[in-house]
Chain A
Amino acid sequence: MSLLLSLLLSCADKPGPAAVEDDTAEPAIADQLVALSAPRLLRRASLDLRGVLPTTDELDAVEADPTVYADLVATYLDDERFEARMVSLQSERWHTVMDVYQVWYSDYGIDPVEADNFAHSVGGEPLRLIARVMAEDAPWSEIVTADYTMSNELLASIWPIEYPDGATGWQKSTYTDGRPAAGVLSTNGLWWRYVTNISNKNRGRVAAMSRLLLCEDILSRPVVFTASSGADPEEAIKTDPVCVSCHSSIEPLAGNLFGFWWTIQYNTAEMSVYHPERELLAMEMLGVEPGWYGAPSSGLQDMGWFVANDLRFARCGVESNAELLWRRPVELADFQAIEDMREPFVAGGMLPKGLLATIVETPQYQAGGFSDLATDETRERELVERLLSPNQLKTAVADLTGLDWVYAGYDQLENDVVGYRTLLGGVDGYSVGRIQQQPGITWYLAMKRLAQAGAEALVQRDLISKEHVLIVGAELTTTSSDPAFITAIEDLHWRLYAESAEDQWVTDIVALYDEVLSGSNEIQAWEATLEVMFRDPRFTSY
């Protein structure tokens, strides 16, 4: 609070430069942090933006000339995998992907083998829209103003959606039930995650909208309830000053969402469609007309534009994407860093790729350690080593080994019904809201299984089937004393870790291979060796 007061005073007094000199000022954040090596930094960016490791050529290039980092990042932003990666990244914040919604796949008569697809399709709808905006580098505001949604064949088969003829996969589509155009605010997927009921009347949804799009968490405001507040909540929110202070703005906002106000929960007919006849019912139910912080609104479409024009929206876009890439919450100490990115972001038309390119150039993003100048606060705040998320592990291992780890229709790293998502540190959209950044017992066990599965798939593809996509120059029959074996192992080390192998590591890994081989065969020896490499902290972190 003292900082707040000092800022207020400085605002009022407009002091000259001499008045703000401060001998005790902290060192600049860039001076407190030590950047990753260029190859490791490129690996981080590639995993964040594409979900895969850099190619060997890319690593060679950035090692030879670290200045090509920005150019390679630019190619990552245009990579075909960028869009899918943004879906997963934004999911960590939007939390729309859950295993279970109020309506189940079975309520639509969908086959159980499609259960995981159903959950990811529903929750993926708003995320796909956001990711498409990012992939097309359209203005960030389009996430709340777009006149389309994103749909796949499954959603088009259960919801009133016009899906392109003959198309497959996620496509721009249009609802046919008369809902207004307001980007993610018009998607079923968002409001299936953030539900309401007869008495809540969309107020909870306003809180979600405010937190997600404006970075203002209404629920974190200090509220002191009085005895009279509990008598009749509907009356109290209109008359009790404690309640009115928030609800005077919440009620009009909630009024914009009544087309999604279901009168009965758990019903496919009610929840699949928008209900335009309920838009005006807001006035009857809430006693106020729809609005946006004092300005009248004609409904959901207006609300989208109000959000887009709100000063907090652009800043929130910067803040939220910085959080996702810095892998930590944005704090007061980051105020200027966020502001420094917000200004060019707004001036440049709020283009997402430019924003991401800026974020990955920040010291906070590139940090791999601390300098002697680092303060305790900085050491506590900054995350210099990050755990790969389950999604990053999935896509990276799949890219390296061809592993498609699916069981009974369930992607093993993307759900918790019969999968390992939260065990491996992931977000489940409901009870776990932030990616785990410290390995734990379940993480270790799940990672072990993934490493085993990846190693097995890699040996099968590259050594038994002799495709040699990742393992090049060595065969099953190549002995560990053969230089080709050593070269193959060192190449793997470079690709997996973005670091050159040290002699001691080569000695140790060859010893491991030989020991396993002595008790089994070449297949098991290679699998054990690769499993250990996948479980290495240099692989599982970035």
Chain B
Amino acid sequence: MSDWTRNLLVVTLAGCTSSPTPGDGGGDTDSTVIGDTAEEPLGGPSVEPDLTADEAVAAISAALRFSIPAFPILASTWDDVFENASDTCPPNYLAFGTFDVPLAEGCTTDEGWNFSGVGGAQGDWLKSGDQYFFGWKTDFNITDPEGEVFKGGGQGDASVAYDGAGSITYDLETYGIFEYPQGELWMAEGASLAYFATGTYSDDDDYGTITGGYSYGGGETLYFDAFSWQRSECDGYPVGDIYFRDQSARWYRWRFDAKSCDGCGDVVFDDEVELGQACLDIRPALTGFGQLMLEYITASYVGLEPLPEQQQ
């Protein structure tokens, strides 16, 4: 008899006796369905908010202290670290950022940098030179002479168009986990990332959308759902939801509607418990997201010619 038939039989026979309705722990019903609860439901985790609305929003603000972790910090860390590569270590390192050294052995430069892993992170101008692309697919550990490890695994890409006059348009998809204690901003904390974002940024305007989130060591964790902001609309105040996860693994949702435009939103715990409204101006953190990308692009690449092998 197949498992499928057996389970049908179990369900059928169970249906001959009185059974509880889902979740109520008792009472007579006519039938039992897949997913019914046991006769005497066991307890369950306590679902009570530990934070007030203001505390939750303060926690969200704290988790935005480095803005939203984005590729410029990863790219600059990667570039900085690979300046320490030698001609032979990593042995098959290519100029634009791919290498492959068995993780177990790795290789060590004369200056004491150990490179191990596989993958690549490549950032350069593409096509006519106005489109910057940074992509990565990595699984690596790079240890500096002080013993600090730059480690990462993940994949994603960032496509950024620059108009030559201080304006960028970006499209990011970021998955993975990266950490380097000697790195800047979020990289020093170590972050696990999973989001996609689009937007434009210039001195005159700032528009962004993001879905997904990030976590610092499993502690501070934010998630953005249908979240956007635009300087020319709503004075740059966001629209959409930010979720903050507490230590009990429950989520607080901070929701901004499209009308209030005041940095205030209702906070709800675990999709059920309304905690009231809280207000905080997080626009500087959001502005930093595009601003950092623009600064990185202009500082690193503007004025440089695309590499010949990439002009196609």
Contact = CB atoms under 8 A, between A and B. Distances in A.
Contacts of B193: 277
Interface centre among A145, A222, A270, A275 (most CB of B within 10 A): A275
Interface string B1-27: 111111111101111100100110000
Contacts of A299: 249
A263 B155 contact: yes
A176 interface: yes
Interface residues of A, number: 69
Interface in A7-62: 7-8, 11
Contacts of B10: 312, 315
A268 B149 CA distance: 13
Contacts of B67: none
A537 interface: no
A11 B15 contact: yes
A263 B194 CA distance: 8
A471 B309 CA distance: 79
B209 to A, nearest CB: 13
Given A7-B12, A301-B45, A178 B247 contact: yes
A92 B241 CA distance: 46
Interface stretch (A302-310, A486-494, A510-518): A302-310
Given A270-B154, A276-B218, A315-B10, A310 B212 contact: no
B304 interface: no
A311 B192 contact: no
B258 interface: no
B1 A277 contact: no
B251 interface: yes
B42 A269 contact: no
A479 B228 CA distance: 92
B188 interface: no
Nearest to B222: A277
A264 B16 contact: no
B34 A249 contact: yes
B307 interface: no
Contacts of B221: 178, 276-277
A4 B11 CA distance: 11
B176 A181 contact: no
Contacts of B45: 181, 301-302, 305
A267 interface: yes
Contacts of B137: 264
Interface in B44-81: 44-45, 47
Contacts of A273: 177, 192, 218
B309 to A, nearest CB: 26
B253 to A, nearest CB: 10
Nearest to A106: B104
Contacts of A264: 137-139, 153-155, 175-176
Contacts of A263: 154-155, 175-176, 194
A141 to B, nearest CB: 5
B223 A280 contact: yes
B283 interface: no
Given A215-B3, A310-B36, A331-B1, A11 B16 contact: yes
B270 interface: yes
B213 A109 contact: no
Interface stretch (A287-295, A361-369, A390-398): A287-295
Given A267-B153, A281-B213, A298-B270, A8 B12 contact: yes
A249 B179 CA distance: 37
Given A264-B155, A305-B44, A180 B12 contact: no
B32 interface: yes
B216 to A, nearest CB: 9
A179 interface: yes
Contacts of B215: 178, 275-277
B107 to A, nearest CB: 14
Given A179-B218, A270-B177, A277-B215, A7 B13 contact: yes
Q: Which of A179, A181, A277, A312 has the most CB of B within 10 A?
A: A277
Interface in A250-292: 263-264, 266-270, 273-281, 283-284, 292
B112 to A, nearest CB: 17
B192 A332 contact: no
A276 B179 contact: no
B298 interface: no
B274 to A, nearest CB: 16
B245 A276 contact: yes
A332 B22 contact: no
Contacts of B141: 268
Nearest to B20: A311
Residue among A263, A274, A295, A302 with the highest chain B CB neighbour number at 10 A: A263
A11 B13 contact: yes
B225 interface: yes
Nearest to A271: B153
B2 A179 contact: no
Contacts of A141: 42
Contacts of A277: 192-195, 212-215, 221-223, 245
B101 to A, nearest CB: 13
Contact of B151 (A211, A269, A295, A301): A269
B9 A332 contact: yes
A311 B13 CA distance: 12
A295 B6 contact: no
Contacts of A278: 192, 194, 213
Nearest to A144: B42
Contacts of A181: 45, 249
Given A269-B179, A346-B38, A298 B218 contact: no
A9 B151 CA distance: 64
B217 to A, nearest CB: 7
B249 A301 contact: yes
Interface in B90-142: 103-104, 137-139, 141
B231 interface: no
Contacts of B178: 269
A304 to B, nearest CB: 9
A177 interface: yes
A251 B58 CA distance: 34
B152 A222 contact: no
Q: In the complex, which of the residues B151, B175, B211 has the most CB atoms of chain A within 10 Å of its own CB atom?
A: B175
Nearest to A217: B3
Interchain residue pairs A-B with the least CB separation, the first 5: A293-B35, A267-B153, A177-B218, A178-B218, A263-B175
Given A211-B3, A270-B154, A278-B213, 20 more contacts: A11-B13, A109-B104, A177-B217, A178-B217, A178-B245, A216-B7, A263-B176, A267-B138, A275-B215, A281-B223, A284-B212, A293-B34, A296-B271, A298-B47, A308-B42, A309-B42, A310-B35, A310-B36, A311-B32, A346-B38
25 contacts: A7-B12, A8-B12, A11-B16, A104-B104, A106-B104, A107-B103, A107-B104, A178-B217, A178-B218, A181-B249, A217-B3, A249-B34, A264-B153, A264-B175, A268-B141, A273-B177, A275-B177, A276-B249, A281-B194, A292-B35, A293-B34, A298-B250, A302-B45, A305-B45, A309-B37
